[in-house]
Amino acid sequence: MTNQGFLDIAGLFAGYGATRVLDGLDLAIGEGEFVALLGASGCGKTTLLRAIAGFATPSAGRIKVAGRDVTRQPPDKRDMALVFQSYALWPHMSVAQNIGYGLKLRGRSKAEIARRVGELEELLGLAGLGHRKPAALSGGQRQRVALGRALAVDPRILLLDEPLSNLDARIRLKVRHDISALQKRLGITAVHVTHDREEAMVMADRIVILDRGRIAQQGTPQALYNRPATSFVAAFMGAENRIDLTGQVAGDRVGIAAGPDNAKADLPREGRPLSSGPLEARFRAEAAELVADEGGGNPATTDGALELSGRVETASYPGGAWRHSVRVGGETLLVDGPEPFAQGAAVRIRIPASALFLFDRPGNTPGRPEGSTSDGPNGRVLEASQS
**Can you give the pLDDT at residue 340?**
97
* Banded model confidence at residue 368, pLDDT cuts 50, 70, 90: very low
For residues 81 and 83, give the distance between their C-alpha atoms in angstroms, rounded to a whole number.
7
**Can you give the pLDDT at residue 303?**
79
**Can you give the pLDDT at residue 125?**
86
**Can you give the pLDDT at residue 70?**
96
**Can you give the pLDDT at residue 250?**
95
For residues 323 and 339, give the distance between their C-alpha atoms in angstroms, rounded to a whole number.
9
DSSP line for 8-67:
EEEEEEEEETTEEEEEEEEEEEEET-EEEEE--TTSSHHHHHHHHHTSS--SEEEEEETT
367 pLDDT higher than 50 = no
376 pLDDT higher than 70 = no
97-111, 236-250, 361-375 — which one is most confidently predicted on average? 236-250
> What would the mean pLDDT of 157-177 be, rounded to a whole number?
84
54 pLDDT higher than 50 = yes
Q: Is the model more confident about 175 or about 193?
A: 193
**Can you give the pLDDT at residue 301?**
66
Left if phi > 0, otherwise alpha if psi is -120 to 50, otherwise beta: which for 77? alpha
**Can you give the pLDDT at residue 87?**
78
CATH topology of domain 2-226: Rossmann fold (3.40.50)
- For 201, half-sphere exposure in the C-beta direction (CA atoms, 13 angstrom radius) is 12
**Can you give the pLDDT at residue 365?**
60
Chain segment 72-103, per-residue pLDDT in tens: 999 989 999 998 877 789 999 999 999 999 89
* Banded model confidence at residue 363, pLDDT cuts 50, 70, 90: confident
For residues 109 and 166, give the distance between their C-alpha atoms in angstroms, rounded to a whole number.
34
Closest-CA residue to 17 (of 45, 59, 63): 59
* Banded model confidence at residue 25, pLDDT cuts 50, 70, 90: very high
What angle do the packed helices 139-152 and 169-186 form, to 10 degrees?
A: 20
Closest-CA residue to 334 (of 240, 230, 249, 244): 240
Closest-CA residue to 160 (of 182, 186, 192): 192
For residues 382 and 368, give the distance between their C-alpha atoms in angstroms, rounded to a whole number.
18
What is the pLDDT of the chain when averaged over all its residues? 89
Provide the Cα torsion 116, 122, 124, 130; round to 10°: 70
**Can you give the pLDDT at residue 375?**
40
Closest-CA residue to 99 (of 154, 153, 145): 145
Q: Are strands 189-194 and 157-161 parallel, antiparallel or unpaired?
A: parallel
Chain segment 286-321, per-residue pLDDT in tens: 999 999 998 755 566 677 899 999 999 999 999 999
What is the DSSP-derived secondary structure letter of residue 209? E
For residues 147 and 24, give the distance between their C-alpha atoms in angstroms, rounded to a whole number.
31
**Can you give the pLDDT at residue 17?**
85
* Banded model confidence at residue 265, pLDDT cuts 50, 70, 90: very high
Q: Which amino acid is at 351?
A: I
For residues 199 and 173, give the distance between their C-alpha atoms in angstroms, rounded to a whole number.
8
Q: Which amino acid is at 108?
A: R
382 pLDDT higher than 70 = no
Chain segment 234-244, per-residue pLDDT in tens: 999 999 999 99
Instruction: State whether residue 202 is helix, strand or coil.
Output: helix
**Can you give the pLDDT at residue 86?**
78
2-226 shares its CATH topology with 241-360:
no
How many degrees, rounded to 5, is the angle at CA 66 between CA 62 and CA 67? 55
**Can you give the pLDDT at residue 299?**
60
**For the chain, domain boundaries:** 2-226, 241-360
**Can you give the pLDDT at residue 379?**
33
196 pLDDT higher than 80 = yes
CATH code for the structural domain at 241-360: 2.40.50.140
> What would the mean pLDDT of 330-344 be, rounded to a whole number?
96
Percent of the chain with pLDDT over 70: 91
**Can you give the pLDDT at residue 178?**
84
Q: Are strands 241-250 and 277-283 parallel, antiparallel or unpaired?
A: antiparallel
